Structure 1
Amino acid sequence: MLRGLLVPILLSCVCLTAGCDSGGETVERDTGTTEGAAAQDHKESVSLSLSADELEWVGRRIFRNECAGKYRCLVHWNDGEAFPSLGIGHFIWYPRDVDGRFIESFPPLIQYMSEQQVSVPQWLQELDPFDAPWPDKAGFAKEEDSYQVIELREFLATTQGFQAEFIFRRAQAALTRIVMAAPEERREQIREDLASLSSTPGGIYALMDYVNFKGEGLSATEQYHGQGWGLLQVLLAMESASNTTPLEQFRDAAAQILTRRANNAENPVEKERWLEGWLKRLMTYREPDGLNASE
Structure 2
Amino acid sequence: MLVFVLLALTGCDDSARPGVAADSQPGARPEPQLTLTSAELDWVGEQVFNNECSGRRHCLVHWNDGEAFPSLGIGHFIWYPQDVQGRFVESFPSLMAFLIERGADVPAWLRTLRPFAAPWPDKAAFLLAEGSTEVEELRRFLEQTRGLQAEFIYRRAADSLRQIIDAAPQAERAALGSRLQALSATPGGVYALMDYVNFKGEGLAATERYNGEGWGLLQVLLAMSADDQLPALARFRAAAAEVLTRRAENAANPIERERWLPGWLKRLETYREPPRTLAGSSQPPA
The TM-score normalised by the length of structure 2 is: 0.89
| 1:228 alignment counterpart | 214
* 1:8 and 2:8 aligned: yes
| 1:142 alignment counterpart | 128
| 2:260 alignment counterpart | 274
Kindly report which structure 2 residues correspond to 1:240-255, keeping only aligned pairs within 5 A, or say none.
Answer: 240-255=226-241
- Return closer, same or farther for 1:163/1:204 CA change in 2, 3 Å cut-off: same
Kindly report which structure 2 residues correspond to 1:1-295, keeping only aligned pairs within 5 A, or say none.
Answer: 5=5, 7-8=7-8, 15-16=12-13, 43-290=29-276
Q: Point out 4+ residue stretches in structure 1 off by more than 3 angstroms.
A: 1-9, 14-17
Q: Per-residue deviation at 1:47?
A: 0.6
- Return closer, same or farther for 1:2/1:247 CA change in 2, 3 Å cut-off: farther
Alpha carbons 1:3, 1:129 under 8 Å: kept:
no
CA deviations 1:228-273 (Å, max 9, x no partner) are 0000000000112244200100110001101111111111111111
Task: Flag structure 1 segments of 5+ consecutive residues without an equivalent.
Answer: 18-40
Alpha carbons 1:71, 1:157 under 8 Å: kept:
yes
Residue 29 of structure 2 aligns to a residue whose secondary structure is helix
Alpha carbons 1:16, 1:51 under 8 Å: kept:
yes
Q: For residues 206 and 187 of structure 1, what CA distance do their matches in structure 2 show? A: 20
RMSD of aligned Cα (Å): 1.9
Amino acid of the residue matched to residue 103 of structure 1? V
Q: For residues 63 and 112 of structure 1, what CA distance do their matches in structure 2 show? A: 18
Q: Per-residue deviation at 1:42?
A: 6.1
Task: Flag structure 2 segments of 5+ consecutive residues without an equivalent.
Answer: 15-26, 279-286
Residue 33 of structure 2 aligns to a residue whose secondary structure is coil
- Return closer, same or farther for 1:291/1:102 CA change in 2, 3 Å cut-off: farther
Amino acid of the residue matched to residue 260 of structure 1? R
Q: Per-residue deviation at 1:188?
A: 0.7
The TM-score normalised by the length of structure 1 is: 0.86
- Count of residues in correspondence between the two structures: 267
Amino acid of the residue matched to residue 247 of structure 2? R
Q: With a CA cutoff of 8 Å and minimum separation of 6, indicate the structure with the bigger relative contact order.
A: 1
Q: Per-residue deviation at 1:119?
A: 1.2
Q: For residues 15 and 154 of structure 1, what CA distance do their matches in structure 2 show? A: 25
Residue 185 of structure 2 aligns to a residue whose secondary structure is coil
CA deviations 1:60-100 (Å, max 9, x no partner) are 00000000010000000111211100000000111111111
Q: Per-residue deviation at 1:7?
A: 5.0
CA deviations 1:12-53 (Å, max 9, x no partner) are xx8535xxxxxxxxxxxxxxxxxxxxxxx9625211000010
